[in-house]
Amino acid sequence: MIELLQLGSRSLPAEPSIWTMVVTSGWFAKGILIILLGFSLVSWAIIFRKLVVFRKLKGKRQQFFHAFERRSGMAEAYQTALAIPANPLTEVFKAGVRELKHLSQRSELSPRQSENPMDAASGGVTAPPRGTTTITILEKESIHMALEREAAQQVEELEEGLPFLATTGSVAPFFGLLGTVWGIMDAFLSIGLRGSGNINVVAPGIAEALVTTIAGLAVAIPAVIGYNYFVSQIKEIGNELGHFSSELINVILRERRG
C-alpha cells in the first residue's frame, strides 16, 4: 500500500505518479481533465474513421482511373463508374455525364443524329453525336462548372470532422494552461493562508496543476498531426479531381468531333 506523507492540508504519495496526482487534484482540475478527455475521444474517433475512409478511397480511385484509361468509349466508362463503389472520381464523372446528357437533350438534333444514343446499358445517358458538330464554348463551360461543383461537394464531404480536429489542436493546450494557472493560484493562496513559502507546501499543488498542461498537450498533438495529414490527403484528391475534370472535357471534345 502506498504510504502517504502528510504535507499540510495536502497529501502526496511517497511514490507519486500521474494517476495519483489526477486523483488527488482539485475539482477544477478534474473538470478540465474531463473536458479534455471528451475532446480526445471525439478526436481519435474522427482520426480512425478518416484513416479507414481514405484507405478505401485510394483503392477505389485507382480502380476507376485505370478502367477509365482503358475505356473504349464513354458508355463503357459510365458502366465502370456504376460498377465501382462511389468515390470522388466516379461522382465527378457521373456529374459530367449528366450535364452532357442535359445539353444533348436541349440540342436540336436531326432524326439521323437522334438515332446515335449510348448503349441502353449506359443507364439512358446519350452519347454526343460524332463527326457532326463540335461542342460550343457555352456547353464546354457548362460541363466545366458542373464538374467543379461536384468536385467541391466531394471535397467538402471529405473535410467533415476536420474543423473539430483543428479546434481541438487549438484550444486543448489553453484548457490545460487554464487548469495549471488555477492550480498555481490555489497553491499561492495556500502559501498566503499558512504564511509559509516552504517548498514542501508549494510543490504538491504546482505538480498537480501541471498535470492539466500535460493532458492538454497530449490531446492537442494527435489532433494537429491528424488534421495536417488529412488536409494534405484532401488537397491531393482535389488536385486529382481537377486534372481528371480537364481530361474528361478533352475526352468529350474528341468524341464530339468523332
pLDDT at residue 201 in the model = 60
pLDDT at residue 161 in the model = 93
Whole-angstrom distance, CA of residue 158 vs CA of residue 153: 9
Whole-angstrom distance, CA of residue 244 vs CA of residue 93: 9
- As given in the structure block, the three cell numbers for residue 48 are 480512425
3-state secondary structure 222-258: HHHHHHHHHHHHHHHHHHHHHHHHHHHHHHHHHHHHC
- As given in the structure block, the three cell numbers for residue 190 are 495556500
pLDDT at 166 exceeding the cut of 90:
yes
Distances 195 to 8, 72, 183 between C-alpha atoms, Å: 12, 88, 18
pLDDT at residue 179 in the model = 87
Query: What average pLDDT does the chain have?
Result: 78
* Cα–Cα nearest to 158, from 49, 27, 34, 41: 49
pLDDT at residue 8 in the model = 39
Whole-angstrom distance, CA of residue 57 vs CA of residue 55: 6
Whole-angstrom distance, CA of residue 179 vs CA of residue 30: 9
Mean pLDDT for 108-123 is: 44
Mean pLDDT for 161-188 is: 90
More confident residue, 142 or 129: 142
Mean pLDDT for 134-155 is: 87
Which residue's C-alpha cell is 513559502?
197
pLDDT category of residue 119 using cuts at 50, 70 and 90: very low
Whole-angstrom distance, CA of residue 235 vs CA of residue 237: 5
The length of the chain is 258
* Cα–Cα nearest to 220, from 159, 163, 165, 162: 165
pLDDT at residue 225 in the model = 97
pLDDT at residue 50 in the model = 95
Mean pLDDT for 99-110 is: 70
Whether the Cβ atoms of residue 154 and residue 241 lie closer than 8 Å to each other: yes
Of the given ranges (14-23, 34-43, 141-150, 240-249), which has the lowest mean pLDDT? Answer: 14-23
Compute the chain's Rg from CA coordinates.
31
pLDDT at residue 154 in the model = 92
Question: 25 Cβ partners below 8 Å, 6+ apart?
Answer: 33, 183, 208, 211
Q: Residue 47: how many CA atoms within 13 Å on its side-chain side?
A: 21
Domain boundaries, the chain: 26-258
pLDDT at 55 exceeding the cut of 70:
yes
More confident residue, 226 or 63: 226
Of the given ranges (50-59, 74-83, 100-109, 138-147), which has the lowest mean pLDDT? Answer: 100-109
